[in-house]
Amino acid sequence: MTTINNERNSKRREKGSLGIYVHLPFCAKKCRYCDFLSFPNDDHEAHAYYANQLIMELVGKSVVYGNDFTVNTIFFGGGTPSLVDPSIIDEIADAVYSRFRVADDAEVSLEVNPGTADENKLAAYRNAGVTRLSIGAQSFDSDTLKFLGRIHTERDTLRTFALARDVGFENVNIDLIFGMPDETPETWKRDIETAVAMEPEHISFYSLQIEEGTPLFGDMERGRFETLSDIDDRRMYHAAIETLEGAGYVHYEISNAAKPGFASRHNLKYWSMEDYLGVGLGAHSYAGGRRFANTDVWNDYMGACDHDMMTTWSHKNSRGEDISEYVFLGLRKTEGIDLEQFRRHFGKDFWEIYNEETRMLMERGLLEHSDGILRLTRLGLDLSNRVFSEYV
């Protein structure tokens, strides 16, 4: 097993940066709230078979993009990537390093569900080049975990985190969800304080979204529970921000906070409209001003003879679409948008394009403009979708 990233690289030339997202759709059990492209499958042979196809896709895409970019982030997402044997992660990583130029300090993230990785497995992931773990805790409350359909316990999360530290991981994220029906401020306070006490480098905190087609949505439609009020949801959100900032975390994006220097470099690509390639079943990409996506049909993906056959949707962004996406994605970042940088990037003054809608949002207290920076206000954070709709 290759353990040193530098051994995977020979000659590099600095050009544009690129992120690579690797989709591993396998999980131990489908959670009740999950609408991601994933399904239960713990068969190692199936994982290996899928990885071979994914590597074939990587090889094909490297012919198109390998000479024009330097990869500086790799993200293994799912599904539950930690369900997959480390040897498979290593093979995929080797394919990236052998076909693309990869920066020496590349951020290599892998999602881990508590209880799916022991000490040996975590050490093997680290030896495969993973530098950052994202642990899907979601909650430390047993009733909440049961409601969500999670199969781990608080103890599993604490143990997984401790093992991650033991094997040398110095960049760890904890994922949390709030806004459950009947959730109390006290329960959420304990969740966020427990996460902070663990001292991870990064904490993500998402409001529960009940998506159509999920078991949770079906239960809601049948009247088995009532959703939390928007007022209580927002109170929990701001309580989390207050606790995190008080503990030294920087609230850098609507639902993400990190210790200084530990913001997710890969996710920042999405919000900053930087280039990234998605590989795997249903994976999406944005490169060279074009958005494209793979088929989400297993048999079609596995039966494709080359990477072009996997792509079922493609769209070349117009200049107007690039401008629109730049604004509403950029406003997700709490630092906001630098309007002088906008002018240099697009050759147009921001106010010439969006004067009326922006002035209206400022008058309503949803946006603020100071020293050439446009950002969401506290109220704007709560009504961000309302703000973004003005720029779509």
**Domain closes at, from 271, 305, 329:** 271
Q: Which parts of the chain sit beneath pLDDT 50?
A: 1-14
Residue 40, domain member (yes or no) = yes
202 with 92, same domain?
yes
263 with 342, same domain?
no
Tell me, letter by letter, the H, E, C secondary structure of 91-111.
Answer: HHHHHHHHHCEEEEEEEEEEE
Give the full edge-to-edge strand order of the sheet including 337-338: 337-338, 373-376, 367-370
CB 83 within 8 A of CB 116: yes
Q: How many CB atoms lie within 10 A of CB 235?
A: 14
224 with 142, same domain?
yes
**Domain closes at, from 231, 251, 271:** 271
For the record, the structure tokens of 387 come out as 């703000």
Distance CA(179)–CA(216), nearest Å, equals 14
Residue 295, domain member (yes or no) = no
Q: What is the predicted pLDDT for the residue at 167?
A: 98
187 with 329, same domain?
no
For the record, the structure tokens of 34 come out as 């999950």
Exposed/middle/buried for residue 115 (C-beta within 10 Å: 0-12, 13-18, 19+): middle
Residue 293, domain member (yes or no) = no
User: Which amino acid does the sequence have at 245?
Assistant: E
Q: What is the predicted pLDDT for the residue at 15?
A: 57
Looking at 39-80, which runs of residues are DSSP E strands? 39-40, 69-78
Q: How many CB atoms lie within 10 A of CB 359?
A: 13
Instruction: Give the number of domains in the chain.
Output: 2
By DSSP bridging, strand 69-78 and strand 16-24 are parallel
Q: How many CB atoms lie within 10 A of CB 162?
A: 11
Which candidate, 161, 153, 168, 178, places its Cα nearest to that of 82?
161
Q: What is the predicted pLDDT for the residue at 9?
A: 43
229 with 366, same domain?
no
Q: Which DSSP helix (H) or strand (E) runs through 4? A: none
Q: What is the predicted pLDDT for the residue at 99?
A: 96
Q: How many CB atoms lie within 10 A of CB 288?
A: 13
CATH classification of the domain holding 32: 3.20.20.70
Residue 284, domain member (yes or no) = no
Dihedral in degrees, nearest 10, Cα atoms 196, 200, 201, 207: -60
267 with 120, same domain?
yes
Residue 276, domain member (yes or no) = no
Residue 188, domain member (yes or no) = yes
CB 42 within 8 A of CB 80: no
Q: What is the predicted pLDDT for the residue at 4?
A: 35
236 with 354, same domain?
no
Q: What is the predicted pLDDT for the residue at 10?
A: 36
Distance CA(163)–CA(153), nearest Å, equals 15
What's the predicted TM-score (pTM) here? 0.94
Q: What is the predicted pLDDT for the residue at 49?
A: 98
Distance CA(353)–CA(370), nearest Å, equals 18
333 with 222, same domain?
no
Q: Which DSSP helix (H) or strand (E) runs through 176? A: strand 172-178
266 with 323, same domain?
no
Residue 64, domain member (yes or no) = yes
CATH classification of the domain holding 347: 1.10.10.920
Residue 288, domain member (yes or no) = no
Query: Which domain range does residue 90 map to?
Result: 5-271
Q: How many CB atoms lie within 10 A of CB 334?
A: 16
336 with 216, same domain?
no
226 with 92, same domain?
yes
Q: What is the predicted pLDDT for the residue at 1?
A: 37
Q: What is the predicted pLDDT for the residue at 7?
A: 42
Q: Average pLDDT over the chain, rounded to whole?
A: 95
Residue at token pair 């494709």: 304
